A and B are shown apart, each in its own frame.
Chain A
Amino acid sequence: KNEVEQSPQNLTAQEGEFITINCSYSVGISALHWLQQHPGGGIVSLFMLSSGKKKHGRLIATINIQEKHSSLHITASHPRDSAVYICAVSPLTGTASKLTFGTGTRLQVTL
């Protein structure tokens, strides 16, 4: 079992829909990261959080440390949101900078 699990693996939504991507992890963490990777493009860090909730534009990230679970929400989705969304965790012990990644959620938003 991977230390970081994401669901769903693939997601298709229509423009305007509310989207939720889930991330569960099995180790103690100091931080959780949400990353975005466009096709053929580089990786952009969306959020880094260790508790509670963060919001940036139409994106919201939440984390529940007790349940070892985080969600990424996209409100009013748009075709330009189509990308792979990756969850990654920084371990609580050992090397905090040694990120462990989920396998990603491929999102396609259609008109």
Chain B
Amino acid sequence: GAGVSQSPSNKVTEKGKDVELRCDPISGHTALYWYRQSLGQGLEFLIYFQGNSAPDKSGLPSDRFSAERTGGSVSTLTIQRTQQEDSAVYLCASSLTVGYNEQFFGPGTRLTVL
């Protein structure tokens, strides 16, 4: 595709519900990253994939958060039993490969937990 796409662009959910956020990286990019930007706070790293594997999951805030990537392309970030503090913009980025490579960001998914 022309760029990184994310869906949905906005998601409003009730506390306790599960949500799935999707990221479609640039075609041919083997590395994929998830970040979170909370209101009034900076960006924080959540997880990255090289191909289908996630070597570093240390950024995930709790075990309610999980992510997977299949076929080396689309990735899904799942938040179970959402809490109000999960409200944030979730950003996805991709790069040609990991390491010294420019990252291209998607438009983000704004998650609001009521």
Contacts and interface: CB of A to CB of B under 8 A. Distances in A.
Interface string B44-88: 110010000001101100000000000000000000000000000
Interface residues of A, number: 25
Interface in B94-114: 95, 98-108
A107 to B, nearest CB: 16
Contacts of A86: 42-43
A103 B55 contact: no
Nearest to A104: B42
Contact of B99 (A43, A45, A96, A102): A96
B9 to A, nearest CB: 11
A11 interface: no
A99 B56 CA distance: 12
A47 B43 CA distance: 17
A96 B56 CA distance: 11
Nearest to A94: B56
Interface string A27-58: 00011010100000111110010100000000
Interface residues of B, number: 27
Q: Of B41, B43, B95, B102, which is in contact with the most chain A CB atoms at under 10 Å from its CB?
A: B43
B45 A98 contact: yes
B55 A95 contact: yes
Contacts of B43: 86, 88, 99, 101
Contacts of A97: 31, 33, 48, 56, 95, 98-99
Interface in B19-41: 31, 33, 35, 41
A30 B42 contact: no
A66 to B, nearest CB: 20
8 contacts: A30-B99, A42-B107, A48-B102, A90-B99, A95-B56, A98-B56, A99-B33, A103-B42
A-B pairs, top 3 by smallest CB distance, nearest first, are: A43-B105, A101-B43, A42-B107
Interface of B: 31, 33, 35, 41-45, 48, 55-56, 58-59, 91, 93, 95, 98-108
